Structure 1
Amino acid sequence: MNILSIMKWKPITKAQLEKEVETQCALLSGQELACFTKIRVPYEPVKIDRWGKLESVFIVARKDEFIVFYEDIEDGFEIGKLNEFGIIVEYGANQFTIQHVVNQLFASNSYTSLVN
């Protein structure tokens, strides 16, 4: 028996994700929110390879070649890339907040240059 069957996990719904993003955006500074708004995209379902099984997650933002998606098993946001087939195959288990993601993606740039 694996841990997923023990936890009776269910994928996050789009409505639940919308609420989670709204809650986390309320905690961002003005500059962080401006940066997130700049990279935010309409929720887009994509396939993710979880231990050899294809499942679906939502992309919430894109910056250059990176995507930000909600990893609903870990209950957090992740930064990743899509492979040539549009599937997420490499990702961590970091349980990032949107604030963590914004600060990681924009760490090498000053906020003011990004939002002006």
Structure 2
Amino acid sequence: MEWQPATVEAVRKIVREHLAECDAEQAAVFKRYAVEPYVAPIFRYGEMESVVVVARRGDEVIYWEDVEEGFNLSPTAPDGRILEHWCNQDELRFALNAWIEGRARTIRLAGHTN
């Protein structure tokens, strides 16, 4: 089966499933920063592709990485492009921890900036 980019509707379903695993603080942070999921451009593996953004806090977003099948955080450009391609396979709850005081990780793995 050939890989296809994730659709907004598929990512909505993934978010619903992942929210069921979140604790109260993670769910509250998601509720505060959630956006209507939308497709955003990202430079990935030498190609301009797209990912689905599900939350935004200032100029940073949480997006679904459909190749690695996990959530990642990245700053965005003024034009909406995702600036950092990460290959983490985080559940939504772990990505949300970055926005919760005292839970943020200090190490991020496998990032690519463009």
Give the TM-score, by structure 2 length: 0.81
- Note if 1:58 corresponds to 2:87: no
1:85 to 1:15, Cα distance in 2 relative to 1, 3 A:
closer
What is the aligned residue count? Answer: 103
User: Which runs of 5 or more structure 2 residues have no equivalent in the other structure?
Assistant: 104-114
Aligned counterparts, 1:1-116, within 5 A: 8-108=2-102
Distance across 1 between alignment mates of 2:14 and 2:102: 27
Shift of 1:24: 0.5
Q: CA RMSD in A?
A: 1.7
* Greater helix fraction, Structure 1 or Structure 2: 1
Shift of 1:98: 1.0
* Greater strand fraction, Structure 1 or Structure 2: 2
| C-alpha contact 2:62 2:71 (8 A) present in aligned 1 | yes
Comparing 87-96 with 33-42, which one deviates more in the overlay? 87-96
User: Which runs of 5 or more structure 1 residues have no equivalent in the other structure?
Assistant: 1-6, 110-116
Shift of 1:73: 0.3
Give the TM-score, by structure 1 length: 0.79
